[in-house]
A and B are shown apart, each in its own frame.
Chain A
């Protein structure tokens, strides 16, 4: 058993909205071993994104602690954690390669070095030849590839993905899903992947964590025992259906409340 790289221990998160206190997460315990691909699903507004922002160090939990590699996360740790959002969120005035190199620029890595690293990442994400394009000259799927390259450029141990394919069309999201699996198997990252799509969760992940409606608690922790590499044919297999159905039962009840 590999050691836990990301540990979420008894984490609760409260917000105050219009004077009232809202509990987004309630007593979350989650240990993610190094190299595991974990999908997080749950009904809308269950605090999935909040959970990621805690690991990203964008917030500090009200109670409990989030640890990465044994170290408590209280601020962003850009060298350990990369993040990809629903929108690519590229800097529109920078070319693809400069966008990928941006995290290195913030760390004052010399220009030749950071451009070299960025070029390697663009190649890894299948964008060789598009280095000098501006974001508005790229398609939605390509922009998201640039965002993934940017998330990987510092070689972080953990990759956080907050519904990264949600604003792409069905075909692009399937292609990018396979691409992500290829990149994941090449780079051995630990991935925390928030999604609305049960298909996506089961297809991509080693393990699917199901959160309840607010306040978010862990309802189930499903090990996906489908062999790798995953293939499109598996999505119509019986096992795939059984796993998806198990998750769906939780979501259905949670959404109904």
Chain B
């Protein structure tokens, strides 16, 4: 974004917040459902001072990270295998394409039955939701490697390992990171869904209970917190992606 565009966006956001504040204060919006932005900010500051809230954030972050660290290698490995072994691809692609399109939330009760309401259940459901994104991404990444470049490397005497390191990895890197980033979005959504649906700890669990008790400032403060964290993770991954993919032709 150019500088003046940023100024416009910032001014717009500030204006919106002030408008909300005014609407609630003059009674146009129900303060019970929509607290003023200043009240939300106040709640946010107080939440960040409560150790048990920070611990809940930590639980959620741990669940999301663990699920991500399992789903990424497993999913990519499955994707690479499917891309390289036509027989397996013929066998499993229809199933994977089908499951890729099905909303994973309908399987949540099954995960509760199998794992109980527990941290492993959140991680397992996170993995289940995320892994399909990475399988599909892994297949796409392998297919994006230009075969001519492999031929060129062979002419110049590249070994199998050199072809993987010098051609496959750099060619696939942008798509791999893109899938990881997309996977993380799905992953965070899945873990929060689990927590809101039923949990003993985690920020999703707190959001659910604040909601049930009509503690709106806390609820919205938590939303701001989660949104900020999710956007930060997404942005960080996107930056790495842009750096590693800068050779791609701007289209």
Complex partner residue of A89 from B148, B157, B158, B171, CB under 8 angstroms: B148
Are B156 and A106 in touch, CB under 8 angstroms? yes
Please indicate the chain A residues that have their CB under 8 angstroms from the CB of B148 in the complex: 85, 87, 89
Complex partner residue of A106 from B149, B166, B171, B247, CB under 8 angstroms: B166
Are A92 and B248 in touch, CB under 8 angstroms? yes
Are A134 and B153 in touch, CB under 8 angstroms? no
A3 adjacent to chain B (CB < 8 Å): no
Please indicate the chain A residues that have their CB under 8 angstroms from the CB of B250 in the complex: 136
Are A85 and B247 in touch, CB under 8 angstroms? no
B105 adjacent to chain A (CB < 8 Å): no
Q: A92-B248, A92-B249, A136-B247 are in contact. Are A58 and B149 (CB under 8 A)?
A: no
Q: How many residues of B contact A (CB 8 A)?
A: 20
Please indicate the chain A residues that have their CB under 8 angstroms from the CB of B146 in the complex: 89
Closest B residue by C-beta to A104: B156
Q: How many residues of A contact B (CB 8 A)?
A: 27
A8 to chain B, nearest CB (A): 18
Are A89 and B152 in touch, CB under 8 angstroms? yes
Q: Name which of B146, B156, B167, B249 has the most chain A CB atoms within 10 A of its CB.
A: B156
Binary interface profile of A, 64-94, with partner B (CB < 8 Å = 1, else 0)? 0000000000001111011101010101111
Chain B's interface: helix, strand, loop or mixed, by majority?
A: helix
Are B156 and A78 in touch, CB under 8 angstroms? yes
Binary interface profile of A, 206-227, with partner B (CB < 8 Å = 1, else 0)? 0000000000000000000000
* A176 and B172 alpha carbons, distance in the complex (Å): 33
Complex partner residue of A134 from B154, B162, B247, CB under 8 angstroms: B247
Closest B residue by C-beta to A105: B166
Are B247 and A92 in touch, CB under 8 angstroms? yes
Are A103 and B157 in touch, CB under 8 angstroms? yes
Are B249 and A136 in touch, CB under 8 angstroms? yes
Closest A residue by C-beta to B152: A89
* A83 and B148 alpha carbons, distance in the complex (Å): 12
Please indicate the chain A residues that have their CB under 8 angstroms from the CB of B156 in the complex: 76, 78, 102-103, 106, 150, 154
Q: Which residues 198-251 in A have Cβ within 8 Å of B in the complex?
A: none
* A94 and B146 alpha carbons, distance in the complex (Å): 15
* A58 and B158 alpha carbons, distance in the complex (Å): 12
Are A83 and B149 in touch, CB under 8 angstroms? no
* A102 and B158 alpha carbons, distance in the complex (Å): 10
B178 to chain A, nearest CB (A): 15
Please indicate the chain A residues that have their CB under 8 angstroms from the CB of B157 in the complex: 76-79, 103, 106-107
B155 adjacent to chain A (CB < 8 Å): yes
Closest A residue by C-beta to B250: A136
* A105 and B155 alpha carbons, distance in the complex (Å): 14
B109 adjacent to chain A (CB < 8 Å): no
Are A106 and B153 in touch, CB under 8 angstroms? yes
Binary interface profile of B, 156-171, with partner A (CB < 8 Å = 1, else 0)? 1110001000110011
Please indicate the chain B residues that have their CB under 8 angstroms from the CB of A56 in the complex: 155
Q: Name which of B146, B157, B171 has the most chain A CB atoms within 10 A of its CB.
A: B157
A146 to chain B, nearest CB (A): 12
Q: Name which of B154, B155, B247 has the most chain A CB atoms within 10 A of its CB.
A: B155
Q: Which residues 91-120 in A have Cβ within 8 Å of B in the complex?
A: 91-94, 102-103, 105-107
B169 to chain A, nearest CB (A): 10
Q: Which residues 163-185 in B have Cβ within 8 Å of A in the complex?
A: 166-167, 170-171
Are B152 and A85 in touch, CB under 8 angstroms? yes
Please indicate the chain A residues that have their CB under 8 angstroms from the CB of B149 in the complex: 89, 91
A140 to chain B, nearest CB (A): 13
9 residue pairs bridging A and B, Cβ less than 8 Å apart = A57-B155, A76-B155, A82-B155, A85-B148, A102-B153, A103-B157, A105-B166, A106-B156, A107-B157
Residues of B near any A CB (own CB < 8 A): 146, 148-149, 151-158, 162, 166-167, 170-171, 247-250
Knowing that A79-B157, A89-B152, A136-B248 are A-B contacts, what are 4 other residue pairs whose CB atoms are under 8 Å apart, sorted by A's residue number?
Answer: A106-B153, A106-B166, A107-B157, A135-B247
